[in-house]
Amino acid sequence: MSNQVGLILSFIFLSFFLLLSGEVITYQQVSVKSMSYLNDMALYIQNYGYDQKEIEKLVSYSYFDKVEINVIENDDYYVTYKIIGYKEYEYATRFLNYGFDDIVCNLNVTRKEF
């Protein structure tokens, strides 16, 4: 009888571990994808400059729930763009939403404007 109880408990703990590790892997995949899309926007701004209408046409812009681009002007014609992207993370399992928050990515791009 004790072998059956131990087997049942080990099965329960193994199931919980598999669900938790799957959730962590999914969260990491979404966060890496978010950072990649934010990097695409930063490269676009660095190469072509900041144009709000053109940036809104990008696939990487529409991926995020909210994007903030702050312009900070420096000396000698240098402009720094602070890009912040917000992505809401959707949980695969509802009872494991113990600590994952929305994904927030930050990047700074400095460009010389003429």
Condensed to tens digits (0 to 9), the pLDDT of residues 3-45 reads 888 899 999 999 888 888 888 888 889 899 999 999 999 999 9
Q: How far apart are CA 4 and CA 47, in angstroms?
A: 64
At 5, list the tokens: 């109880």
Condensed to tens digits (0 to 9), the pLDDT of residues 39-89 reads 999 999 999 988 889 998 989 889 999 999 999 888 788 899 999 999 988
Q: Which of 103, 80, 90 lies closest to 33, judged by CA?
A: 103
* Helix, strand, coil tally for the chain in percent (to 5): 55, 25, 25
Tokens 């590790």, residue? 21
The whole-chain average pLDDT of the chain stands at: 86
Is the per-residue pLDDT at 1 higher than 80? no
